[in-house]
Amino acid sequence: MYSIMISGSALFTGEELIRDAYVYIKDGIIKEIGERSKEMDLHEPSLVIGGEKRVIMPGLTAIASIASSPIRYYRPSMEKRVRFYRLLSDEELFISSLPSIYELNMQGITTILGEAINPSFLVDLKEKVGGNYGVAIPSCVEGFEISPALSGRVKISGEGCRGEGIDELSQGYIIFTRRVTYSMSGLENPYEKSEALRKEAGLAKNVIKEGAEAEIVVFDASRPPAMMMYKGGEDEVKALYSLAPRVESLVVGQELLVDLGEHLRIGGKQLKVAEELGERVSRDGRIKRALKAKE
């Protein structure tokens, strides 16, 4: 059986701050949390991560227009993004999402509600890249069947695509649509906004506690901009989410997606393929016309 031991100088569980703690995960489920001094006396894990000056925290949940990565610099409205999605195949939507997944994981986001008019590419991302994925359905798109492999669903409304659901400009959730970057820098209260979104999507709270599925980010607080932050109180530690420190590890269930600051599933080769697709997309006359069409 596969097990992971995570240790850190601080652990924010989502409910409390614990100093010098460990989290023991077995088959994707959190089995124990406790004092770091006793961790190796209790178990012989398959993998040990974290260590001194590391901070262990719940991973975040966000809505993101991941498949629009090749055209993000246009800051397209929701109406134009929907047109764009209709011009790409499922495979192209998968490939075009890879840079966004990389960026979001490196921000400590473990569950992504991907904007989609067809969820097939999201199922492929879960199977081939790893992590948790749900669906953010544009309000002007008819509903569709959701695979049980996906985690949660919400309706989202935006310019040219109005209706029921969360407005993409809402400040109450973590929403990365019509954005050039997915940086968390400066975002206020990201954990609370993540939890509000999880509730809206029908997901359980992401709290590091015994019996919960692991969705955990480990930040490196040994260097700027997070240097020494592990010594702060709960508010200071929670501020790490919006300081954009180095994500050293990212664990989702049984999967280690990021280790020693490197993504294990998305590398230079995959990003190059996505870049090549983006170059082809930028020259495609159909897409240019869709993006220039009147609202």
Give the contacts of 126 (CB within 8 A, at least 6 positions apart).
132, 133, 149, 150
The tens digit of pLDDT for each residue in 168-206 reads: 999 999 999 998 889 998 899 999 999 999 999 999 999
The residue from 170, 200, 230 where one domain ends is 200
In a domain, 232, yes or no: yes
pLDDT confidence of residue 35: 82
Percent of the chain with pLDDT over 90: 84
Same structural domain, 95 and 166: yes
In a domain, 283, yes or no: no
Average pLDDT over residues 146-155: 92
Same structural domain, 108 and 15: no
Task: Give how far Cα 246 sits from Cα of 12, 78, 108, 193, 242, Å.
Answer: 17, 31, 9, 21, 11
Distance, CA of 218 to CA of 55 (rounded, Å): 6
Backbone φ and ψ of 74, nearest 5°: -80, -15
Give the contacts of 255 (CB within 8 A, at least 6 positions apart).
28, 130, 131
The tens digit of pLDDT for each residue in 271-283 reads: 999 999 999 998 9
- For residue 230, give both structure tokens: 């592990």
Average pLDDT over residues 234-263: 96
In a domain, 275, yes or no: no
In a domain, 13, yes or no: yes
The tens digit of pLDDT for each residue in 208-245 reads: 999 999 999 999 999 999 999 999 999 999 999 999 89
Same structural domain, 33 and 157: no
Same structural domain, 55 and 72: no
Is the pLDDT at 39 greater than 60? The verdict is no
The tens digit of pLDDT for each residue in 74-133 reads: 999 999 999 999 999 999 999 999 999 999 999 999 999 999 999 999 999 999 999 999
pLDDT confidence of residue 294: 56
In a domain, 288, yes or no: no
Same structural domain, 166 and 223: no
Per-residue buried b or exposed e for 4-25, using 16+ beta carbons within 10 Å of the residue's own CB: bbbbbbbbbbbeebbeebbbbb
Instruction: Please answer whether residues 117 and 66 qualify as being in contact, where contact means their C-beta atoms are separated by less than 8 angstroms.
Output: no
Same structural domain, 176 and 95: yes
Q: At what angle do helices 285-292 and 78-86 cross, to 10 degrees?
A: 160
For position 32, which CATH number holds? 2.30.40.10
In a domain, 293, yes or no: no
Distance, CA of 72 to CA of 178 (rounded, Å): 7
pLDDT confidence of residue 36: 75
Same structural domain, 110 and 169: yes
pLDDT confidence of residue 295: 45
Same structural domain, 240 and 162: no
The residue from 158, 184, 200 where one domain ends is 200
Range of the domain at 236: 3-59+207-262
In a domain, 277, yes or no: no
Same structural domain, 112 and 158: yes
Same structural domain, 54 and 155: no
In a domain, 273, yes or no: no
Same structural domain, 83 and 192: yes
The residue from 200, 217, 238 where one domain ends is 200
Same structural domain, 102 and 192: yes
| Tally of domains within the chain | 2
pLDDT confidence of residue 292: 80
